[in-house]
């Protein structure tokens, strides 16, 4: 098979999960509506109507189609603090981060009533933008119990490059919190520079829709089942003792 035909067939096989009579859609059709499930989508971009927003909207459309409640939370362009490793969140009886003047604790509250988390970020110098990293690091450190065991996905939006490194950085956080990472037919990337350009990325937008379907499917499958039981105390060692 010539390389071009092989690539086309491989792409069609992957796209099969999103389009036409996909296995995922077929399963969802058989299921009863997901009901009270909610997905929080956090947009790390300072541009509330930029390309990351377009990507999140595309995911949202699919989640809604499957009866899932959604909320897009915009970090916006207000200042956000970084974690200063003060340990205050360990001593304040579960009140979250000691800083209350930025979106961190508000997102924590929203996570308390959400079943899954999707984080969208523009790519800045091959990484998530600074604001979303700062907020997520504090959210996970101070309010980790509110995200534990909830499915998660990251979405990276860029003009040209650095999206896979960005996704990896975001996924590293989910992987430390027992959060099942939800995937799509391709890495969760959309391309665009000027506001709204990402809508023209046909494959990127389809990847977002498939991600939405897969998230709906997983939430449906988890249902109202309990979190996994852990009968071991967590070990916490470092390399010097
Ligand atoms: C400070 C800065 C750094 C950027 N770095 C990258 C980069 O490393 N790779 C890239 O492809 N695009 C880069 N971009 C472009 C943005 O990722 C791109 O315009 C994206 O669509 C912005 O998303 P938004 O509209 O949701 O804010 C950068 C933009 C800014 C402002």
Q: What is the DSSP letter of 197?
A: G
Contact call for residues 133 and 123 (beta carbons, < 8 A): no
Distance 162 CA to ligand 1 centre (A): 9
On the question of pLDDT at 223 being above 50, the answer is yes
Tell me which residue range forms the domain holding 207. 35-80+88-222
- Local confidence band at 222 (pLDDT 50, 70, 90 cut-offs): very high
Q: Is residue 8 part of a domain?
A: no
Separation between Cα atoms, residue 88 and residue 230, nearest integer Å:
26
CATH, residue 144 = 3.40.50.360
Confidence at residue 1, expressed as pLDDT on a 0 to 100 scale: 44
Q: Is residue 25 part of a domain?
A: no
Ligand 1 contact via 159 beta carbon (within 6 Å): yes
pTM for the predicted model, two decimal places: 0.88
Confidence at residue 161, expressed as pLDDT on a 0 to 100 scale: 98
- Sign for the CA dihedral angle at 167, 131, 174, 107 comes to negative
Q: Is residue 75 part of a domain?
A: yes
Domain total of the chain: 1
Q: What are phi and psi of 77, to 5 degrees?
A: -115, 20
Q: Is residue 127 part of a domain?
A: yes
pLDDT, tens only, 144-158: 999 999 999 999 999
Ligand 1 contact via 196 beta carbon (within 6 Å): no
Ligand 1 contact via 132 beta carbon (within 6 Å): no
Ligand 1 contact via 189 beta carbon (within 6 Å): no
Ligand 1 contact via 44 beta carbon (within 6 Å): no
Nearest CA to ligand 1 atom 4: 124
pLDDT, tens only, 58-114: 999 999 999 999 999 999 998 999 999 999 999 999 999 999 999 999 999 999 999
Contacts of 44 (CB under 8 A, 6+ apart): 52, 75, 119, 120, 121, 122, 128, 129, 131, 132, 135
Nearest CA to ligand 1 atom 29: 124
pLDDT, tens only, 9-19: 444 444 443 33
- Could you write out the DSSP letters of every residue in 88-144? HHHHTTS---S--SSTHHHHHHHHHT-SEEEEEEEEETTEE-HHHHHHHHHHHHHSG
Q: Is residue 66 part of a domain?
A: yes
Ligand 1 contact via 162 beta carbon (within 6 Å): yes
Q: Is residue 65 part of a domain?
A: yes
Q: Is residue 3 part of a domain?
A: no
Confidence at residue 33, expressed as pLDDT on a 0 to 100 scale: 52
Atom in ligand 1 nearest the alpha carbon of residue 47 = 27
Nearest CA to ligand 1 atom 3: 124
Ligand 1 contact via 199 beta carbon (within 6 Å): no
Q: Is residue 203 part of a domain?
A: yes
């Amino acid at each position: 098979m010539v390389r071009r035909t092989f690539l086309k067939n491989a792409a069609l096989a992957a796209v099969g999960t999103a389009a036409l009579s996909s296995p995922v859609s077929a399963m969802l059709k058989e299921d009863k509506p997901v009901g009270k499930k909610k997905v929080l989508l956090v947009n790390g971009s300072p541009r509330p109507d930029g390309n990351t927003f377009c990507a999140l909207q595309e995911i949202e459309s699919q989640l809604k189609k499957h009866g899932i409640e959604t909320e897009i939370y915009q970090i916006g362009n207000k200042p956000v603090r970084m974690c200063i490793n003060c340990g205050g969140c360990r001593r304040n009886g579960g009140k979250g981060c000691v800083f209350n003047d930025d979106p961190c604790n508000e997102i924590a509250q929203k996570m308390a009533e959400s079943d899954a988390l999707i984080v969208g970020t523009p790519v800045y110098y091959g990484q998530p933008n600074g604001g979303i990293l700062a907020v997520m690091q504090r959210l996970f450190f101070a309010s980790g119990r509110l995200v534990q065991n909830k499915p998660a996905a990251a979405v990276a939006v860029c003009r040209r490059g650095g999206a896979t490194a960005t996704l990896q950085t975001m996924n590293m956080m989910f992987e430390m919190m027992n959060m099942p990472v939800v995937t799509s037919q391709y890495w969760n990337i959309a391309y665009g520079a000027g506001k709204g350009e990402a809508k023209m990325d046909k494959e990127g937008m389809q990847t977002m829709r498939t991600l939405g379907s897969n998230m709906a499917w997983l939430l449906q499958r988890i249902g109202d089942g309990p979190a996994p039981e852990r009968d071991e105390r967590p070990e916490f060692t470092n390399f010097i003792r």
